Amino acid sequence: MNKTVVISGATKGIGLAIAHAFAKIGFDLAICSRNQDDLDSLVDAFAKNYPTSKVIVFAADLSKVARVKAFAQFVKKSFTKVDVLVNNTGVFISGDILSEPDGTLESQIETNLYSAYYLTRELVGDIPKHGHIFNMASIASLMAYPGGGSYTISKFAMLGFSKVLREELKKQYIKVTSVMPGATWSNSWQGDNLPPYERLMPAEDIASMIVACWQLGPSSVVEDLVVRPQLGDL
């Protein structure tokens, strides 16, 4: 029986790279995204590239608690256990605290934090001993950046959530890793005046590090995974 991984927000960027990385080593996957067309394209591609991996998908806006719970129930009906949970759903809205529109903080917290909080609560009972939870925080969880606004607040909170979870689950032998990538190529880098490609990290590098963390023996855990561009942050 294949091991299973649940990845939220996995049709683009880092999430998609993580999905590929786990499929390559024989995992079955449960993936959600807001866009059904993106999910359908993923299913078709993975069926061709990873025929021994089962892939189930669910369209959901995980900023809505009811949809988080619906996704969790969908996973429970399809898989008997969840070996790896990757809380990857997130959105970046640039701005400054004192000038960003009302509702920005709520939007960032609901998507970047509450999605992970509620999905973890729903699925943790299905994670066996030596299972692993990866929470996608950010370099912005460690320091403030100009224009980071409520995004930075949400990612500081995500890191706090992950650290508390680590303490609560250690005696159950469930690993928890906070992932803090720096600037990584994804759909958020669009438009004019883009930096040179080599200035940012490929999403595949973040995915490779996550798999490497999972592959450690049962007595070891990477609590904080920080990966930055060689030339530093942007």
Q: What is the pLDDT of residues 144-202, one digit of tens each?
A: 988 999 999 999 999 999 999 999 999 999 999 999 999 998 766 666 567 887 889 99
Which of these, 86, 5, 77, lies nearest to 46 by C-alpha position? 5
Q: What are the domain boundaries of the chain? A: 4-227
pTM over 0.85: yes
Band the pLDDT of 77: cuts 50, 70, 90: very high
What pLDDT was estimated at residue 33? Answer: 95
- The answer to whether residue 50 scores a pLDDT higher than 70 is yes
- The answer to whether residue 27 scores a pLDDT higher than 70 is yes
Copy the structure tokens of residue 45: 């591609």
- Which whole-number Å values give the CA distances from 231 to 179, 182, 198, 201, in the listed order? 19, 11, 9, 10
CATH number listed for the domain at residues 4-227: 3.40.50.720
